Structure 1
Amino acid sequence: MTALEYTSLIQSVALSLRPVAMNLTRDADDAKDLVQETLLKALSNREKFKSGTNIKAWLYTIMRNTFINNYNKITKRTSSIDTSEYLQYLNINQNYTAQNKGAASFVMNDINKAIANLSEEHRKPFMMYYIGYKYHEIADQLNLPIGTVKNRIHIARKELKLMLEVYR
């Protein structure tokens, strides 16, 4: 089959590709792009077409495979990493180029200083809660109402948040 015969054969079937492309993509512009890409692939792979076979079925196969490949590319691009091995890298602060023990010790020193700067009435319930005591246990040990304990822990958190604003 000559190139001219092959091209005219493809042109005769090209109009029937559009509804199928529209069914796959559900968007007019994407359907036009899919048909165009299908025809380009068919024309550039003329030597792979065997005379006597169904040209329409061959073009539909090219179109379907092209659509699937494009869909897979898009979903790979938009999917997030969900393996636990890489989860530690998702929320890395972009300002730091490397994390090391020196930076961590500076952070811990700042946290300890901020906790030390809390008033005694806020620091004590906060530290007890941090260690693992429940609200009612803290209230019993400090002889305070549970609402007061919750309020003091809340205030301590707010003050620490303000004091450690640099680490946001």
Structure 2
Amino acid sequence: MEKEKEFSELLVDNAGFLKPFAINLTKNNETANDLYQETLYKALANKEKYNSGTNIKAWLFTIMRNIFINDYRRNAKRKTVFDNTPEDYLINMRQVSVSNSAESTLRLKEIEAAIENLPETFKVPFRLYYEGYKYQEIAEYLDEPLGTIKSRIHFARKLLKEQINRY
């Protein structure tokens, strides 16, 4: 019971920063409020997955980001229209051309391998940046100065450009 109370207090103390992040993601106050509430609900529903001492802000950011991405994907699927011709073509209103998924998959694997080959001091901040965290969030999470984080991400990009073959 004490652990639940401690988690609830930690959640209440750290929930305030989620509102601006939700607005930044959604660009709409009403949708941001829904995202904020759903994030808090999921955090409470999954409190047993939170490890004491872990950065709760990063944990909450991840929950919110994942909810936002899943909602975005769900909405994109809703915009898919069926053409009732005998061939049953799928027409996605936003898609202009068909992409070669095999080429994209190979390219993604090449990028992932290049990221894994980065030195640890560059890999960790770059991976967080690559996953969608802002510079300030990364600096707070890694307990490093903001300038250091920006510099490391800049050098990581430079190293990646050298490693990845251009077509």
Per the normalisation by structure 1, the TM-score is: 0.49
Per the normalisation by structure 2, the TM-score is: 0.49
